Structure 1
Amino acid sequence: MSTTSVLAPVAGRAVPLADVPDPVFSAGMVGYGAAVDPPHEVIEAVAPVAGKVLKLMPHAYVIMTADNVGVLVHLGLDTVALDGEGFTTHVSQGDEVTAGQTVTTYDVPAIVAKGLNPIVPVVVMDEREPGNITPDEAVLEGAVLSSGDGLFTAGG
């Protein structure tokens, strides 16, 4: 099985997925991965992998790699309720993107002002085996990442 390096879609503090204060993510219901707690400023969220934009919503997106690994980036918790407020998308569903390409502008202060948690879970869709995800050292240390830094490796 091939491995896929998944990059941090935003800058911020790396957080183990189990520490995300939402059971849908922390329990791996959607899949396994890691998260990034972003700075409270307007930031660009980028593609964590190269591939096709399989699903694009203002608050979340899924990129499908050539190896059929679907990576979900969810901008904040419970942000679907905002109907796109605080998010500006820069690509279209079906577009091919490169890792590090800007997908969405994320207005973190607007999310925080609504009383929502801006943390960004990044998971491999439908990954049911947590052992198939290897967090980068930064996640284990709670280190601060730059956008595009390594977050975790899927597969193996």
Structure 2
Amino acid sequence: MTTVSSPVSGRAIALDDVPDPVFAGAMVGPGVAVDPPRARTVAVAPVDGVLVSVHPHAFVVVDNEGHGVLVHLGIDTVQLNGEGFALLAAKGDMVTRGQPVVRWDPAAVEESGKSPVCPVIALEATVDVLSRLATGSEVAAGDTLFDWK
């Protein structure tokens, strides 16, 4: 079993409440989202593993069980072309849970007209393999969002 931690602090919300039909419909995969405070912060690795994809607005970590976890920093933030984001790790890096990956500013994302809500997605999974989905509560970066059986 893999425990997936929150990459940012904030309020854990159901994917249904994400303002994007692809994430809200779990088309990318099941998971939880976090609505972060509007202050400059750092997104951290949700699991131990290797960074297989790293962009200013999103990254994927694959753990030693082959579970891929997508962290998407905001909605439609790819359109910001990296502005307001700073990479702290690179593709191929081994990371540990809680290790900083991207520095970003949710307030600046919101000021640009984008949502700073952060989906945390279990890639290539089905909702029935997830348990303990944290929603409706405040979480700190590193707190458990869900378990992946």
Q: Which TM-score applies when normalising by structure 1?
A: 0.93
Q: Which consecutive segments of 4 or more residues in structure 1 shift more than 6 A?
A: none
Which ranges in structure 1 are unaligned for 5 or more consecutive residues?
A: none
Q: 1:23 offset after TM fit, Å?
A: 1.1
Q: 1:134 offset after TM fit, Å?
A: 1.5
Q: 1:120 aligns with which of 118, 124, 128?
A: 118
Q: 1:135 offset after TM fit, Å?
A: 3.5
Secondary structure, counterpart of 1:111 in structure 2:
helix
**Residues 61-88 of structure 1: per-residue CA shift (max 9 Å, x gap):** 0000010000000000000001101111
Q: Match for 2:105: what amino acid?
A: D
Name the structure 2 match of 1:47. 45
Task: Tell me the distance in 1 between the aligned counterparts of 2:110 and 2:29.
Answer: 25
Task: Tell me the distance in 1 between the aligned counterparts of 2:15 and 2:2.
Answer: 18
Task: Tell me the distance in 1 between the aligned counterparts of 2:140 and 2:89.
Answer: 21
Task: Tell me the distance in 2 between the aligned counterparts of 1:67 and 1:126.
Answer: 13
Mapped pair 1:106 → 2:100: no
Which ranges in structure 2 are unaligned for 5 or more consecutive residues?
A: none
Name the structure 2 match of 1:90. 88
Q: Which TM-score applies when normalising by structure 2?
A: 0.97
Asked whether the 8 Å contact 1:63–1:70 carries over to 2, the reply is yes
Name the structure 1 match of 2:145. 151
Q: 1:21 aligns with which of 16, 19, 43?
A: 19
Indicate the percent of aligned positions where both proteins have the same amino acid. 46
Asked whether the 8 Å contact 1:33–1:135 carries over to 2, the reply is no
How many aligned positions are there? 149
Mapped pair 1:81 → 2:75: no
| CA RMSD across the alignment | 0.9
Q: Match for 1:133: what amino acid?
A: L
